[in-house]
Amino acid sequence: MNRFLLESRSEAETDRLGAVLEAVLPEHIVIGLYGTLGAGKTRLVQAVAAAAGIDRKDVTSPTFVLCQQYHGRRTIFHLDAYRIRDDDEFLELGVDEIFISPALVFVEWADRVENCLPQSRIDLIVSLGADDVRLFEIIDRQPTPSGLIASIERNLRSQQ
């Protein structure tokens, strides 16, 4: 399992991470988002969406609708499991079909539905540090080394 840790000290740095993720993540990938309320999960999805040509203002937390779909240069599904009662309710959303679609699939509150997520995925843990610093830990859970973490690191360094 490959890991990468990034500190984001500004929204511009979060936007840069979003642009890199949009550029390097392959189609058909699920990204489990973990973190407390207000950590920046939706903000990161907005950054990825903006990099895909989707108006950031159109990307809102899907807490009450459970699933949003956005179309730009890439399709993005944005799911939220915060209000999901159990695995069955989550599966009723049709996630099996969403997970195999040619899209980036972000699942906020992934810890609540972890049993339903594909084992082959990216986990992204967002936490708050001191002085509003966001800490992003990216974990590649692909069954074989995919090179995604190295690609993310390389792309972030090239944009500094």
pLDDT digits over 50-60, tens only? 999 999 888 88
pLDDT at residue 38, as a whole number? 86
What residues form DSSP beta bridges with 79? 67, 107
pLDDT beneath 50, residues of the chain: none
User: pLDDT (tens digit, 9 = 90+) per residue, 3-23?
Assistant: 899 999 999 999 999 999 999
All domains of the chain in start order, with CATH:
2-158 (3.40.50.300)
pLDDT at residue 69, as a whole number? 92
pLDDT at residue 145, as a whole number? 64
For the chain, what percent of residues have pLDDT higher than 90?
Answer: 69
pLDDT at residue 64, as a whole number? 62
Q: What is the pTM of this model?
A: 0.92
pLDDT at residue 53, as a whole number? 96
